[in-house]
Each structure stands twice: as C-alpha cells, then as structure tokens.
Structure 1
Amino acid sequence: MVDIATRVHNHNWKIDPIVRSLIDTDFYKLLMCQSIFRNQPETRVTFSLINRSKDVRLADLIDEGELREQLDHVRSLSLTRGESTWLRGNTFYGKRQMFRSDFMEWFEALRLPPYQLEKRDGQYELTFEGAWPEVMLWEIPALAILMELRSRAVLKSMGKFELEVLYARAMSRVWEKVERLRAIPGLKLADFGTRRRHSHLWQDWCVQAMMEGLGDAFTGTSNCKIAMRREIEAIGTNAHELPMVYAALADSDAELAQAPYKVLADWHEEHDGNLRIILPDTYGTAGFLKHAPDWLAGWTGMRIDSGDPAEGAEGAIRWWKERGEDPTNKLVIFSDGLDVDKIEALHRQFAGRVKVSFGWGTLLTNDFRGLVADDALAPFSLVCKAISADGRPTVKLSDNPNKAMGPADEIARYKRVFELGAQQALDVIV
C-alpha cells in the first residue's frame, strides 16, 4: 500500500500527473459514450466548469500554469493495451463484450480535444467544445484535476510529519465509518467518489478500506481504473447529461416533453438487467413518473439523486404499485450527498420494502472536514455540465431548485412543459 503522506510530500518533479489514464473515469461515462457514439455522434456539445461554492476561489488557490500542465497531460493520453483488453474482454454486469468493436476502435484512437481556460473573478472558466462523444470524456478528469490541485495547494506548506498525522486522522475517520456500516444487515454500497475526490491515491485507499472492512457489502467502484487494478466490479449506468442534451435538441414543446423517454428508449435497446436504472429527476421526478410510458415500469430500478431521498423513494414505491409492479423486486439506488447517518436512516426506512443500494461519493473519498486550519480541505460543490448542444442551451431542473441550471427563460419554459410545481430548496452539500 502506498505511503500517501510521503507521496504527497515528495511533489518535487516537474509534473506529477493527476490523471494518468483515460479510464481513470466513471464507468457510466463510458457506457453513455458508447450510446452517444451510436445514436448522436455528430451532435456538437459544450461542457463548462461550474463552481457552486463561490467562496472557494479556485483561481486564487491553483496556479494557472500547473492547471494547464495537468490538462495538457490528459490530452496526451490514450488507452494502453491492457486497458483496451480489459474493456473488450471483461464481464460487466454479467455481460461479456459490453463495449462493441466499432466503439472500441474509435476509443483506442481517441485523444481528448482542446480546452479553453480563462480566469474571471477568482474562478476558472474552463470549457470544452466539440463532438459529443469526445468532449463528454473531459468531465471527470477535469473535475478530478481541479479537486486534487486544490488539495495540493492546501497541503503544500505542510511538513512530512504533519502530513502523516493528517492522513492518519483521515484514515481513522474512514475506518470509523466502515465499522458503523458493517453493522447494517444486508448493506449494498459502492464507491461513487471519483469526480470530487481528494486525490486518486486517496480514492484507491478508500476503496481498499471498503473491500477489507465491508466484504461482500461493498459492491464495487465507479472508477474504471481502480476497478481494473483491484479486480472488482465497475459500477454505473447513466446520468443527467443524456436527457439534458436530448431535450436541448428538441424542436417543439411536444418533442421536449418526450425527450427524457427517448433517451431511455435508446438505452433500452442497448442494455438490460441492472443497467436499466431510471434516473427521473432531471426535470422533476413527479412529472417524469406521471407521464412515463408503461414499459419503463418493468425496468430494474431507480436512482434517487436530488431532493428529499426518502420522499423520492416513497414516490417510486407508489409509482411501481400503481403500475402493477412489486416494489420488493425493484432496486433503489441512493446517491446524493450521502454519509453514514443518512445511509443508516435510509436503510432502516426502506430495507425489505425495496432492494436498497447506495452510491457513496464525496464524503467517502474527500472527507477532510475539520482536519486542517480554516477547514481549508472541506469538500465543495464543483460540477462540469453540458451547457449547450448544437448551439442551443441546456437546462437542468432537478428535484432541488438549488441545483437548477440554464437561462432563466428556458428554465421557465421547461417548468411549464414538465409541469414542475413547488419545490423544497435543500442545501447542496457536495
């Protein structure tokens, strides 16, 4: 196991790459990329960095030259032979050859496209524009780079012994969480922490801790590189990016209303089993379920990713019952702002009523709260989202209005089309 404190202390060569592999990314990005490669290869999309935590002034903390070096390094990467063999030949979700040959040939030849970087009012404006299958693969490495450069900036002035104590305290915190979690009967939990991790080494350490401490209760990681290295399951399905872009491409209100279902119809043709997971909240869960086609009720489960998670799960249970489905056979994946208290409470409320699973993100792989002066390593909310498609703005509404994004006039239109009523504003923790 790597001595993380020593490794952090010895940043004394010209560039210490944060992202060293194109598969140091979340599994759902590759699954979605293959679907987009098949269904929307010519669509032009722009992604942009969005820092929801304005008090964290990234451009004041992170050197622009160092950021450019890290981003340029990612542009030099391509799949290794071992990575390609793993993607082509490994079994994912019980399916061999998940990734088709035409997609793999394209991916093996890929280099990520250029980026645009500017500073404005203490923040970085980082954007990526190009063909959708190419630019979408910038999201995870861009976030991982900025999060880790922020960590490095805070840790730069610390001596080796101070770093050793810091990481010992952080490790103890993770292990205390493990000890609480392994007391939960029937727990199923995966690592979803790539995007806003403290560092790659720290995420890998957390995954190893979960493997040893939770055994079969730990179902895998969203990070493909770590899944390959540690020989565990790669976990993930799809994300808000798909309906956001499909909706932006709609030519009328009627097409807009159907866009979230068109996404899932395309997905339905490619995947089955545990990959058929509904993510209903992009434009409000209630409206999505009200107008959902009957065939969606037969899907395996639902991911709850915004709003009150208990209300979301209760709504899913009611919807399945109304459609003649047995909720006890359905999978509910909770994945928004989780930590141990919330995991314990949600498991108590829903175990036995549905199949419960958790995708644990930032507060697994980046919980250094209170461990340094001024809480300078506290996690914050940084995202990289598709902001336009073929020149049209994208919109996300969510079940939490504090996560909404898009131009005001388009947000108003989407609220009307998707019949979005009053919503409860909740703090965005991460």
Structure 2
Amino acid sequence: MVDIATRVYDHRWKIDPIVRSLVDTDFYKLLMCQSVFRNHRDTQVTFSLINRSKQIRLAELIDEGELREQLDHVRSLSLSRGESTWLRGNTFYGKRQMFRPDFMEWFEGMRLPPYELEKRDGQYELTFEGNWPEVMLWEIPALAVLMELRSRRVQSTMGKFELQVLYARAMTKLWEKVEKLRPYDVRIADFGTRRRHSFLWQDWCVQAMQEGLGDKFVGTSNCLIAMRRDIEAIGTNAHELPMIYSALADSDEELHRAPYQVLADWQEEHEGNLLIILPDTYGTEGFLRDAPDWLASWTGIRIDSGDPAAGAETAINWWKSRGEDPREKLVIFSDGLDVDKIIDLQKRFQGRVKISFGWGTKLTNDFRGLVKDDALAPFSLVCKAISANGRPTVKLSDNPAKAMGPAEEIARYKRVFGVGAQETIAVEV
C-alpha cells in the first residue's frame, strides 16, 4: 500500500502528475462521449469552471504556472495500449464491447483541445471550446487538477510527521464511516473523482471500501482505478446531455421534447442497457408528469438534487401511476451524501425500491476539521457546459441554488417545463 504522507512530502511532478491518464475520469463521461460522438460530434460547445464557494479564492491559493503545467500535461496524454484493450474488450454492465470500434479509433487518436485561462477577482476563469466530444472530456480532469492543487498548496507547509498524522486521522475517519455502514444492506459506489482530495487518496478510499464493505461496495466511477483494481466501472449519464440538447432546440415545443430525445438516443445507443433516468435537469415533477410511457419501463432513476426522500417518493408514485412495481425499480441517490444520510435513506426505502448510493465528495475528500482553519474542507467546484452552437445552456435542478444560465432563459425554461415554486436547499459538496 502506498505511503501517501511520504509521497505528498516528497512530491516529484513527474512521479505524481495530478491526472495520470485519459481514463482517470468518470465512466459516465466516456459513455456520454460515445453517444455524443454518434449523434452530435460537430456541435460546438463551451465549458467553463464555476466556483460556487466564492470564499475559496483559487487564484490566490494556486500558482498559475503550476496550474498551466498540470493542464498542459493533461493535453499531452493519450490512451495506452493497455487502456485501449481494457475499454475495447472488458465487460461493462454485463455487455461486451460497450464501446464501438469507430468511437475507439477516434478516442485512441484524440488529444484534449486547448484551454483559455485568466484571473479575475481572485478566481480562475478556465474555459474550453470546441467540438462537443473533445471538450466534454476536459470536465473531470480540470476539476481534479484544481482540487488537488489546492490540497497540495495547503499541505506544502506541513512537515513529514504532521502529514503522517493528518492522513492517519483521515483514514480513521473514513474507517469509522465504513464500520457504521457494515450492519446495513447497502449498495455503494465511489462517485468521488471530480472533487477528490487527490488521486492517491481516492485510490486508498476505494481499497478501504473494498476491504471494509466487501460485496456491498459495488464499484467506482473512476475508470483508471476500476481497471487497476479489477472492479466494476460505474456510471450512466449526466445533466450535460439535456442541457445541450435543449440549447439546440429551435422552438419552445422542441425545447420541451429535448430531455426525452436525449433518452431516446441513449436507449438506441445502449440497446436496452444503462436505462437510468436523471429527471431533475428541469424539475423532476414536470419531467415525470410529461414523460412518454416507454420511459416507465426503464430500470430506475438517479436523484441528484432537492430533498432526496421527496424525490424518491415522487418516483415511486410515478411508477405506480404508470402501472409499474416500484419494488422492481432502482433508485440511485447521489447528492451530498454522507454516512448518516445513507443510513436514513436505506432505512426509509428498503423493501419499497431497490436502492444504490453514489458516494462522492464526503467519501474521497472528507478532511473537515483536520487542519487549522479547516483549510482542507471540500468546496463546491463545477465545470459545466455554458453554451452550444452559440446558445446559452440552462439548468434548473430541483434546488434553485444549483440553477445556472441567463436570467431570461431561466424564466423561459421554467415556463416551458412548468416549474413552480421550489425549495432552496444549501448545496452540499
């Protein structure tokens, strides 16, 4: 097992680049990328970094030269032969050759496109523009680079023994969570790549979950760790797809159909696999109210904003209204989870639906309370598509605190999708 504290103390850039591979990313990005490559490869998209935690002034913490060096390193990466073989030949979700030969040929020759980096008001403005399949692959490595550079900056003044104690405390903290979960019949996957403390720490957390929870730990969203640890790569789709499809719509009618067209394309792409609905991009209640009947037969729903219990109850009622048995459906909880919330949701819904948890930041970056001024506490950093073919994107969410887009477009989308009053909930990382 890697001595993380020693590696942090002795950091050598070439030994420990923050992003080590193009598959050091979340599985859902590759699944979405293949669908986008097939259906919208020439769509021009802009992604932008958004720091929701304004009090974390990243441009004052992170050296611009170091940031550029890490980003330039990511641009130099290409698939290795072993990575390509794993993607081409491995079985994912029971399906061999999940990734088509034409997509793999493109991916094997792909390099990430250029980036634009500026400083403004203590923050970095980091943007990526280009063909959708290329720029979308910047999201996860860009977030990983910034999160880990912040961790390295805070730890740069710490001594060797101080670092050993820090990681011992963090390991104990995670292990206590694992022990608390053991009595429950949970299914948990690691969803923590995008806001991890570091790659080495995420890898340690995955190994701890494997040993501590056994079969209750079902896999990781991180493809590189899944490949190296020979465990399941977990993921389906994300808000990016309906946001961009909707931005491309030419009328209110097309806009209203766009989230369902996403899932029609997804169903065709994956031939009956990976049928998980993410309904909250423009409000879960409206999405389910107007959903075509064929969506009710899908495997399940992922709940990623708003009150998770209320979201699950809404899904259960919808399935019942469409003649489906909720006990045969899967609900994946993935927003702001920590151990107590996982246990509460498990107790409430066990026997009513099948349950799974995508545990993110508080699995792979819970250093809260471990250093002075809580300087290693996780914060809310995202990288989102902000335009498609020159048109702004919009996200409403089930929590207005997560909404994004120009005010006039937000108002239009609320009208088109029939979104009424929403409860604002503090955003948890």
Question: TM-score with structure 2 length normalisation?
Answer: 0.99
Q: How does 1:259-298 map to 2 (within 5 A)?
A: 259-272=258-271, 275-298=274-297
Q: Secondary structure at the match of 2:218?
A: strand
Q: Distance in 2 between matches of 1:129 and 1:409?
A: 24
Aligned to 2:391: 392
Aligned to 2:43: 43
Contact 1:282 1:396 in 2 (8 A): yes
Q: Distance in 1 between matches of 2:77 and 2:260?
A: 35
Q: Distance in 2 between matches of 1:68 and 1:429?
A: 29
Aligned to 1:422: 421
Q: Secondary structure at the match of 1:128?
A: strand
Aligned to 1:381: 380
TM superposition shift of 1:18: 0.4
Contact 2:267 2:273 in 1 (8 A): no
Q: How does 1:16-165 map to 2 (within 5 A)?
A: 16-165=16-165
TM superposition shift of 1:426: 0.3
Root-mean-square deviation (CA, aligned residues, Å) is 0.8
Contact 1:194 1:203 in 2 (8 A): yes
Q: Distance in 1 between matches of 2:337 and 2:314?
A: 19
TM superposition shift of 1:16: 3.9
TM superposition shift of 1:20: 1.0
Aligned to 1:174: 174
Contact 1:273 1:300 in 2 (8 A): no
Q: Distance in 2 between matches of 1:52 and 1:257?
A: 28
Structure 1 residue runs of 5 or longer lacking an equivalent are none
Match of 1:299, as an amino acid?
Answer: W
Q: 1:48 to 1:327 in 2, by over 3 A?
A: same
Aligned to 1:9: 9
Contact 2:25 2:193 in 1 (8 A): yes
Structure 2 residue runs of 5 or longer lacking an equivalent are none
Aligned residues: 429
Residue deviations 1:370-425 (CA, integer Å, cap 9, x gap): 00000000000000000000000000000000000000000000000000000000
Contact 1:243 1:282 in 2 (8 A): yes
Calculate percent identity across the aligned residue pairs.
82
Aligned to 2:183: 183
Q: Distance in 1 between matches of 2:183 and 2:386?
A: 42
Q: Distance in 1 between matches of 2:57 and 2:410?
A: 27
Q: Distance in 2 between matches of 1:270 and 1:93?
A: 14
Question: TM-score with structure 1 length normalisation?
Answer: 0.99
Aligned to 2:200: 201
TM superposition shift of 1:368: 0.1
Q: Distance in 1 between matches of 2:123 and 2:12?
A: 26
Q: Distance in 1 between matches of 2:62 and 2:70?
A: 12
Q: 1:122 to 1:15 in 2, by over 3 A?
A: farther
Q: Distance in 1 between matches of 2:14 and 2:174?
A: 32
Residue deviations 1:207-266 (CA, integer Å, cap 9, x gap): 000000000000000000000000000000000000000000000000000000000000
Contact 1:15 1:69 in 2 (8 A): no
Q: Secondary structure at the match of 2:118?
A: strand
Q: Distance in 2 between matches of 1:133 and 1:182?
A: 40
Match of 2:225, as an amino acid?
Answer: I
Q: Distance in 2 between matches of 1:68 and 1:377?
A: 22
Residue deviations 1:152-207 (CA, integer Å, cap 9, x gap): 000000000000000000000000000011111x2100000000000000000000
Q: Distance in 1 between matches of 2:227 and 2:177?
A: 25
Q: Secondary structure at the match of 1:275?
A: coil
Aligned to 1:347: 346
Query: Are positions 1:245 and 2:247 aligned together?
Result: no
Match of 1:5, as an amino acid?
Answer: A
Q: Secondary structure at the match of 2:418?
A: coil
TM superposition shift of 1:11: 1.8
Residue deviations 1:92-135 (CA, integer Å, cap 9, x gap): 00000000000000000000000000000000000000000000
Q: 1:265 to 1:361 in 2, by over 3 A?
A: same
Residue deviations 1:60-79 (CA, integer Å, cap 9, x gap): 00000000000000000000
TM superposition shift of 1:17: 1.1
